[in-house]
Structure 1
């Protein structure tokens, strides 16, 4: 296993083990498992971006009794006969459900790049620039909006790619090498899923392409991971080279479609110049009589991604249609009651409240709140033994909902421009810093509610626990002094409402039939 990834797993495990009785599931290492089902009709499902599973063409495969295929079998057997210990470890690491591993690699990179650029010596700030990724500062700053977008595009590309793979698998129905030649021992639990094209190769190529675009400084590392992953597909006895080549063809096609969408979704305009940021703030002040102020020293001239709320959503046509109600007036009883509530939490901080605030913090240098929910999803996927297609469907819809909810949240943040508690309560201090964007609604609450609703749809047996965790994540920001309680409660409702658009889309993609 890559040393950086292993170190990250150790950190995740330590966090989980040191939390109290409400701790999240610990990371569960796995080497592969028998799928709960094979999803034979998966090639008929409706993709997110591609027109259908048949949209991507690949060559007609050679028959298993052809000389060309027999030659490929001999290549597999020769490679397996000369396997090294490091290659065996790689086979164990990648498993027969590698979308999880690529998701974990994405989380690793998000944590690595989730570092806010500091001020220059003269107090000014230089923003990360995709045209000059080496910086300084390095590109990207993988803050929550950036993180949820990267995860969404990778997961959607994986899902569309596997729908195409399943379409061709059951169209050509070519058996895997271990099923054709009894002398080949498969490294994982045997199954009857056809091997052409290789679903693992689809995942490897699509994931590498998306993550390289999102984290350009990691191109060499990501290429190394793809090369290792593709090699294991042959060494495991699960694929011949033509299976793998066909899979990478699909992976290239779906990632190109996804990245074309990404280039035109508006994210490149989300971080605005100061003049635009100032105009957004003034518009809110004219509208409501309040505005959020950045209290950093030196002051960062622009909040974080003021126009992320204008990025194209996956399942909602108009972001204003899911904009929440206005927050309380600053002289209202609801607001004054919340001031007293936050003061009480701060003056009477319990160990349990502090633990909850710290556990869900997911701040700088972490995989962010969207990443936290991806870890939870990965653990459920393994627990319920989902196959690769089911896995990518789960991650795609969850990350689409998280991104849509984040866009909705940022629309509300900069439309209402509501001040944070530290700005309005004299002498107030947080226990978790102060984010560089307005208060209403809470991003943690929105992200968590959206993720929990999709996971409740996919894993209905876990719905009560998922929703409980989402509510705990929401209140954690109030305990930490970051947010007003209405930021959390309205944000939770907002995330659930936005997620329903994604769930409604999922219900008609063919998987539930």
Structure 2
């Protein structure tokens, strides 16, 4: 059971200078290819998440560099590179020597594209997106924050396991890259001693394409085109021959299959309930506490957003109830009335700075949502600290597992307590940022952000004060916007921190140093 701790509503001015001014939509993260700060030769011994041991993933045995077949591959590579165009060279620079970032950006773009709430039908009724009929209308998915957190978690975890497997085989066979085998072959990026077989880029292209296709089925053709473009660029860098790519694709196929098996049974299909189930959840909360959240939209949606997301399988927490916070203040209690006064004071004294903070962290419809916001931060840190692809995937895997687990815990609390939002109980009260279609307690922004900040502070200790300041600002932004009570933000921040600890326990024991 989580307990409340005092919440420091500290606003750290200027802390957002590190990140791009444009954060509502994913933007191309421009960076020069760099020399990795380390290559993690022992990465193949790290503990994966979806599979037991990387050696259980089967690939073909690598050809020896002296074999005639390999020499033929080198000749084919040279011919392929001799036909490169200016567009090919641009593609090589776009994908770069850390394509973990590029595939994460592609995921953020898709989240923003599909983060559009289905509108009402002409008769005032609503039709929910269906994975069985992704064309709709409305189109599937609605990439709301819980959906985004899940998509990013499966993508990142699959990338991590696939790259652990790739590293295992790289250092089993130790095949040098073509440009190291033949001095006449140039290399597009900074030289490295990481073996070429299997290709980490091919691993990422295949596993990313398959996971994202499952999450965004209407983008299947587009994702196939992206995979083909990525593989073509890899074949022209001078770093890989065809058998390197083939082995990488085999790993990607097998890890994607493991990830999608888990996704098929994690409970997400039942997260969006029928009206009857939704009403029963609401009645149970009223009988338990004497209050209930009501949707104030016109026309009102019959069901809140994903009432059973709190029952989806967590990555690193066995029982969601173990992370459920204490009950919020009773309506009309002294603590409740104190919060009413705080919100009214903010509304009467709305400054440009408060409005800026509320708007910056809004992450509403048409954006990559709060989970995406923290992925953007992670990508910039990955570049700053020159992580190799394996360590980058590890960073994003732990970040997104923590964020998804935190979201599940938050949604469990939201629908268990079913607490009204300020506009429902404060007469005449208005928000400056709209009102989400789910209960108030606890704040999703606060929970997602606190969990994300804890992981980034663990992996990038030099940035701990910065990211924790961002999490506090994200939390108070929802209070400034009139969307949440201060105790939603306070307890939500505590909740995110506590849930993230489960992921950090796992990270500390995976065999990799921080």
- Which TM-score band applies after superposition, normalised by the shorter structure? over 0.9
Deviations 1:69-121 (A, max 9, x none): 01101111111111011111100000010010000000000000000000000
Indicate conservation of the 8 Å contact 2:15/2:466, yes or no.
no
Tell me the distance in 1 between the aligned counterparts of 2:349 and 2:494: 28
1:21 and 2:14 aligned: yes
CA distance in 2, matches of 1:400, 1:415: 22
Name the SS of the counterpart of 1:464 in structure 2: helix
**What's the offset of the Cα at 1:25?**
2.3
Deviations 1:25-74 (A, max 9, x none): 23440142100001000000000011112120111111111110011011
Query: Is the counterpart of residue 237 in structure 1 residue 238 in structure 2?
Result: yes
RMSD: 1.0
Is the deviation greater in 64-73 or in 116-125? 64-73
1:260 maps to 261
In structure 1, the partner of 2:480 is 479
Distance in structure 1 (CA, Å) of the matches to 2:186 and 2:228? 22
Cα deviation 1:263-285 (Å, max 9, x = unaligned)? 00000000000000000000000
2:499 corresponds to:
498
Q: Structure 2: give runs of 5+ residues left out of the alignment.
A: 1-11, 21-28
Alignment of 1:89-104 (within 5 A): 89-104=90-105
Number of the residue aligned with 1:411: 412
For the Cα contact (< 8 Å) 1:45–1:53, is it kept in 2?
no
1:11-34 per-residue CA deviation (whole Å, 9 max, x = no partner) reads xxxxxxxx9834252344014210
C-alpha distance in 1, partners of 2:141/2:65? 46
Residues 409-461 of structure 1 deviation map (CA, whole Å, 9 limit, x = unaligned): 00000000000001011111101000000000000000000000000110001
Is 1:31–1:93's contact at 8 Å kept on the other side of the alignment? no
Deviation at 1:304, TM superposition (A): 0.1
Aligned counterpart, 2:464: 463
Q: Mapping of 1:84-483 within 5 angstroms? A: 84-483=85-484
CA contact (8 A) 1:156 1:392 kept: yes
More divergent stretch after superposition (65-74 vs 412-421): 65-74
CA contact (8 A) 1:44 1:510 kept: yes
Aligned to 2:65, the other structure's residue is in SS state: coil
Residue number in structure 1 paired with 2:41: 40
Q: Distance in 2 between matches of 1:404 and 1:26?
A: 25
What CA distance in whole angstroms lies between the structure 2 residues aligned with 1:289 and 1:236?
Answer: 65
Point out the more displaced range, 136-145 or 19-28.
Answer: 19-28
CA displacement 1:232-255 (0-9 Å, x = unmatched): 111011110100000010000001
1:80 partner SS: helix
Q: The residue matched to 1:286 in structure 2 has which SS?
A: helix
Equivalent position SS for 2:235: helix
Q: Distance in 1 between matches of 2:175 and 2:215?
A: 35
Structure ranking higher on relative contact order (CA contacts 8 Å, 6+ apart)? 2
Normalised by the length of structure 2, the TM-score is 0.95
Please name the residue that 1:13 is paired with. Answer: none
Whole-angstrom distance in 2 between the partners of 1:35 and 1:329: 54
Aligned equivalents of 1:373, 1:491: Cα separation in 2: 16
SS at match of 2:117: coil
Q: Give yes or no for contact 1:158–1:392 (8 Å, CA) kept in 2.
A: yes
- Counterpart mapping for 1:6-85 below 5 A: 21-27=14-20, 28-85=29-86
Q: Secondary structure at the match of 2:54?
A: coil
What is the aligned residue count?
Answer: 495
Shift of 1:332: 1.3
TM-score (norm 1): 0.96
45-54 vs 315-324, which deviates more? 45-54
Separation in structure 1 between the aligned mates of residue 440 and residue 286 of structure 2, nearest angstrom: 15
Instruction: Show CA shifts across 1:366-399 (max 9, x none).
Output: 0000000000000000000000000000000000
Q: Distance in 1 between matches of 2:508 and 2:17?
A: 28
Contact 1:31/1:94, CA 8 A, preserved across alignment: no
For residue 42 of structure 2, give the secondary structure of its aligned residue in structure 1.
helix
Q: Which runs of 4+ in 1 moved over 6 A?
A: none
